[in-house]
Structure 1
Amino acid sequence: VAKPVFMSCNDRQHSLAFGLPGMVERLNHLHIQYTDFDDLGVSHDTIRSKDIDVAMQLGKHANDQLYTFYSASPSGWLMELGWGNYEKPAAQEHYTGDIFGHAVEASGYGLDLEL
């Protein structure tokens, strides 16, 4: 059973994720948040043009309203690149899905599971 650990160093719900299947004892993803939506788009186009694995397609999280996608780093862990207006959800708020997108595109990165 997956027991993910989410860590934060700021007001985000999490900036680092550990403990997902296939990567149980190592970093799963690091979140990088852009201040300009165009930067997210340029990053998405650049990653696609370089044939870098995209583990989860562009989508929008329900919990923080961020537009993100997850791409592979050279070390095999993921970068969650995102943009959007962010308000940290209250501790009692729980979300089980996304507004749109985030379909799994590349397996083996620990994101193709149900938590």
Structure 2
Amino acid sequence: MDWLHCNLCFCQPGNGIGYNLTNCGHIYCEKCVKEGCENRCKMCGAVCTAMKLTSKLKPEVECFFMDPIDLAKKHNKQLMQVMDFQRSHRKRLSSYIREKVIHLIF
């Protein structure tokens, strides 16, 4: 994640420095989080709460820190599964209707 940095001091990951994500989408290092998120976000002025960025993030947060290519592959795989599932059910229904029509005609 070459883009990750503290929005206040611009330090980047290294030397075991932890980072926090605010509810308004800003990132502060552990040294700046108190100053950057004291009552209101220093970047945008929104009422601010922060959560520590760890390896165990909720999926709705984790996706923002994934490689976009990996994220696309994951969603593409899921999309293909959905399409296959729906296609198989559509095919069964179509076959059933075709058989009903054949019986009505003959």
**Same fold per superposition (TM over 0.5):** no
Write 1 or 2 for the structure with the bigger share of helix.
2
Q: TM-score, normalised by structure 1?
A: 0.23
Q: TM-score, normalised by structure 2?
A: 0.24
Write 1 or 2 for the structure with the bigger share of strand.
1
Larger Rg over CA atoms:
2
Q: Which structure exhibits the higher relative contact order, with contacts defined as CA atoms closer than 8 Å and separated by 6 or more residues? A: 1
